[in-house]
Structure 1
């Protein structure tokens, strides 16, 4: 982390730096280099100087692309007070190098950071850089978070990791509560730039749970960008980016106090469960004793505290994701199911408590060819708990969660009995899921008054997002919730549940009040009643899921 070499500053120099960086990016890959050479040859016929200029850009030293005068660091940056980045080879950076690192971060462009930052990342341990970035960021927050020091926020994306992602997420929520929406959106962009599994997990949490529509939309846009960069849609990306929380292949981890060791597992809600060496369940990590190794015990305590926070952030999202998979009848290829559901270190704790089906295709009316659950060793078993001669990872077809309506009464009873006998608690209602159907009269229309006049608590309507119902219906005042539905032919519609008197997107001191339900409508995406489709066009599972949420709301009433 030597002090940067000078370079003229100002807009022209910044344009040259950006152009040189682009040239080096293109030249780094064979296909890009071939395209670059072809373009240069075409221009060189008209201007021979182009060849020399491009060569100078490609061959330029990115370490020389610095301002002529290092930026003046603000008073809140005190290098000696910051935790020192630790070299992979051993030892910590001295004060002069820490100062140089701060200067690099201060003049780095977020899109094309100074090349010296990458050298620092390569030379220092990720954990120490993560801690350094968070301390720098917190110093900026404590000094009033002025716009001139926003580079400290951007630094989280350049050198931060999981600790930075968690700390930034808390700050984004605080900015949102204080009404600082632009600052919150800037934080979301940085959270996306951090890009770790924990960062994406927290982006998903903001997208699902933030009370501010603007922050939810910004987080969703960041997730969509990440998905597009990988050639996936948002839901497929969520499958692949479920955090593993550093768990081992058995879905747990060991904490050591030296001689004493503890094993961490998870229950049906993804709450960490702690057991001692004899397998006894512990309410909390015990206090170290004189016989324990102090350094190991402190490290184990920090790890346990961080794991509990990460598990709490992940739990709701992952349970909701799987319940949405059941309700929407989404299915995945066996090559996706096995590594990202069955054998995933964290998700396996949910997948093993559910009943799965191997379907010949993704059509909602197609029954499963095989129904199975995953035993402790991940082998598929049937309702009699007998092993199935089935290689799920290499099978043909698609895998999805089995809805009760996919099973005949005898099969449903057999599966329910097995789960009861083994005391397997499910993360959400699957086998015991309530089912509903439209009446013959309702099936012939696209609107029903079944729930008209029923009074429900507004907070219940606001909390329907985990059940797939969104309040993002346009405008700041909410008079309806909606959920997407698909017909068997693939036509996309929305089910809209309207109510009065409505509530504001952002909860106010007056609360959401008691709401009166009105119509449930099958509508096109423009909210007009479906012109050619009726409730009878829905497959039985989709129809049941559309009715389930308002039916449960009606049963709860305004309590």
Structure 2
């Protein structure tokens, strides 16, 4: 019989969790906090600092009452609050742990690990298909508590069809693959009724723990099967370990984890052969309707691949105060699963162009039907059938879907573009990603791009360089009027001109006359000029983002890829480059000389190794050399394509870099502070009596946050009544902190100088 829930701590785990109470800073304690916490009707009115204090060290009875009816913990230190609550109150904190883990599985699923019993089992079973850290927490919980999991999940696996049953089946397969099949069969027998038959159907005798079902079992004999280890190491020597590769290919055919999910129902009416365009065989004759029906049926199995391995996350990483957590949007993303043998055979028997048009017809029919989620296979099938024309038609749809709240469909569209992986498909994905304003969708698109680039042995920046369109300027463009011809040339600023037979450069070719046989050539020139202008603007914006995000490329690519490019080359020659060392710190700044070599500040030729990391230098990195570089560019009359050397920047001195905080200045109008809050800054640390935002916060790379202390603070309701604000202090803290502590620990020099400069310029730009 199943046992009631108990605590099952690992050695030292409870002590480690309890020790995080020291990190739960809550600012200055007020004398009335204890009285407020013990009041029967005041728990719902506690402020965030009071909740933190109460869980960490407040009155026992009040704290237990609070976590018995779990509040919504809105603090950034929810993982610490949860761990301390579980360590302090153990089983009394089960409701809080389940509530927090259910609300944010990737970030807080780790809280359920010490609880052994039936309550966490259905929750963690649903995490096995996640992309982020929740999948790792599920595996760790099942590994620690296999018996409790089996008792809780076998009845669901024997129950009515639905999501709960599917998730229970996933978890039981995982237990069997991990070597617990005998335990699962034993408990099923004890449960009786329909349980033994359900488990036998799910885990056939003798095959339940088949070699290869457990990916960890693929390791060499004697090698520890540590959950979360990098399973890419299992590939043959010399094989590329690409993020997002489908490791299901490593599993034996028919193994439990390699099985496809069951497809329910028949293809919809709009996918019947008679409603679709004629499809011809590769040999020429039309395919018979029954063969087309088989193709459609095979396409309905189109799906995303299983979550890429390894599962990310670590509950206790060395050298870190908090668990290593990876959100699903930032984890490796699944491509579209490869076509099965039957679908491959059917597609191979079709005319490729006709198959692509057939796929587009399916896509259009699905769109006209209202994009039913149950038939999203019509979208994923484009990865098997689609060509570049399909990608051209699909990309605008994918771009529009987030604005229509069709986020899952947009993710599927990203997967199709990345899986197809042609230059055209990836150009579209690059354009989609660059047009996003941030958030999880932007992260997913970025990860797909990184994975696609890795498949080509490149990083994302190198991929973007190679896919930048040339509009034919690299091979030469001739405007042929029939009677007259003109050559199109571009100057250093990418303005297009027409050159006649006499060598004269014209701002535009003359309008066609009555004797010209191709008057449309004139309009083609005007359109080309618009297209080149738009492409140049997009590439300038990309390179500016790369400067701000400090993306790098090997030096050999500057000479071999960027400079020869007819659009990137003229832009790159007008920018200041930098060679970067460990930690992406600037080693030296470099100019591209007229002959394509690199030159230093003294205008001497600089030798740069082909493997050296080059990026666009930010003025905050240049220190005292900034003015000298600006004068040198002015002497050569180099007009930069976007603000670089003349960009507003804040460069800290040595004393400021060593300091853990610096004083601010003001006054600052409340309306201007409200403007920051309407952008990417957030309010934080409101004073618990007057409800004022006393801090502005803005994220920095490397897991840090920039904090700006305001005096007297901005009311959380009506900003216009606050009057002037003074910036009392600027400091930096860990992003996971609630930033309530009085001690300052992190030197400003630990911050990325580019990001810090941009944030400070943004802050002080509001200070008229």
* Corresponding position of 1:254: 477
* Corresponding position of 1:276: 498
CA contact (8 A) 1:201 1:242 kept: no
CA distance in 2, matches of 1:425, 1:532: 43
CA contact (8 A) 1:342 1:374 kept: no
CA contact (8 A) 1:456 1:515 kept: no
TM-score, normalisation: structure 1: 0.60
* Corresponding position of 1:446: 661
CA distance in 2, matches of 1:379, 1:293: 43
* Corresponding position of 2:542: 318
Give the superposition deviation at 1:131: 5.2
* Corresponding position of 2:747: 534
Please state if 1:547 is matched with 2:768.
no
> 1:302-343: CA deviations, max 9, x gaps?
x96996799489547623433325xx4x55432344445434
* Corresponding position of 2:644: 430
Q: 1:463 to 1:105 in 2, by over 3 A?
A: farther
* Corresponding position of 2:574: 353
Q: 1:354 to 1:365 in 2, by over 3 A?
A: closer
Please state if 1:522 is matched with 2:700.
no
* Corresponding position of 1:5: none
Give the superposition deviation at 1:496: 4.6
* Corresponding position of 1:415: 633
Q: 1:155 to 1:390 in 2, by over 3 A?
A: same
* Corresponding position of 1:222: 448
Correspondences of 1:106-505 after superposition (within 5 Å): 106-109=300-303, 110-115=336-341, 118=344, 132-207=358-433, 209-210=435-436, 213-223=439-449, 225-226=451-452, 236-242=459-465, 244-247=467-470, 251=474, 254=477, 259=482, 263=488, 274-278=496-500, 280-282=506-508, 291-292=517-518, 311=535, 314-315=538-539, 318-325=542-549, 328=550, 331-344=552-565, 346-358=567-579, 364=585, 366-368=587-589, 371-373=590-592, 375=594, 378-380=596-598, 392=608, 394-395=609-610, 397-404=612-619, 405=622, 407=625, 409-418=627-636, 420=637, 424-437=638-651, 444-446=659-661, 448-450=663-665, 453-454=668-669, 455-456=671-672, 482-485=698-701, 493-496=704-707
CA contact (8 A) 1:452 1:517 kept: yes
> 1:427-453: CA deviations, max 9, x gaps?
321121223345899664436543673
Q: 1:184 to 1:123 in 2, by over 3 A?
A: same
> 1:392-421: CA deviations, max 9, x gaps?
5x4574433344425263443122231x3x
CA distance in 2, matches of 1:102, 1:253: 45
Q: 1:220 to 1:517 in 2, by over 3 A?
A: farther
SS at match of 1:185: helix
CA distance in 2, matches of 1:115, 1:288: 60
> 1:227-262: CA deviations, max 9, x gaps?
676787xxx323334452553896476376685576
CA distance in 1, matches of 2:683, 2:364: 33
CA distance in 2, matches of 1:432, 1:363: 22
CA distance in 1, matches of 2:567, 2:683: 30
CA distance in 2, matches of 1:143, 1:381: 61
Q: 1:242 to 1:461 in 2, by over 3 A?
A: farther
CA contact (8 A) 2:433 2:446 kept: yes
CA distance in 1, matches of 2:584, 2:353: 47
CA distance in 1, matches of 2:431, 2:509: 27
> 1:508-542: CA deviations, max 9, x gaps?
xxxxxx99896754222324378422336668766
CA contact (8 A) 2:540 2:641 kept: no
Q: 1:95 to 1:314 in 2, by over 3 A?
A: farther
CA distance in 2, matches of 1:344, 1:104: 43
* Corresponding position of 2:53: none
CA contact (8 A) 1:244 1:345 kept: no
Give the superposition deviation at 1:113: 1.0
CA distance in 2, matches of 1:481, 1:289: 68
CA distance in 1, matches of 2:454, 2:464: 14
Give the superposition deviation at 1:150: 1.8
CA contact (8 A) 2:649 2:758 kept: yes
Of 57, 69, 74, 2:269 maps to 74
CA distance in 1, matches of 2:498, 2:278: 34
- Structure 2 gaps of 5+ residues are 1-168, 170-200, 219-233, 238-251, 255-259, 304-335, 685-692, 718-722
Give the superposition deviation at 1:111: 1.2
Give the superposition deviation at 1:355: 1.9
SS at match of 2:270: coil
CA distance in 1, matches of 2:490, 2:346: 36
* Corresponding position of 1:41: none
CA contact (8 A) 2:597 2:605 kept: no
> 1:75-105: CA deviations, max 9, x gaps?
3667786597897x9x796686776654543
Give the superposition deviation at 1:33: 9.3
CA contact (8 A) 2:512 2:522 kept: no
CA contact (8 A) 1:319 1:427 kept: no
SS at match of 1:372: strand
SS at match of 1:276: strand
SS at match of 1:430: coil
CA distance in 1, matches of 2:565, 2:437: 31
Q: 1:169 to 1:317 in 2, by over 3 A?
A: farther
CA distance in 1, matches of 2:660, 2:346: 65
> 1:55-88: CA deviations, max 9, x gaps?
x99xxxxxxx9x9xx965633667786597897x
Between the two proteins, the alignment pairs up a number of residues equal to 459
> 1:271-322: CA deviations, max 9, x gaps?
x86543545445999999971399x999x79x96996799489547623433
Give the superposition deviation at 1:117: 5.3
SS at match of 1:434: coil
CA distance in 1, matches of 2:655, 2:699: 22
CA distance in 1, matches of 2:481, 2:345: 36
RMSD: 5.8
CA distance in 2, matches of 1:315, 1:544: 23
TM-score, normalisation: structure 2: 0.46
Q: 1:351 to 1:445 in 2, by over 3 A?
A: same
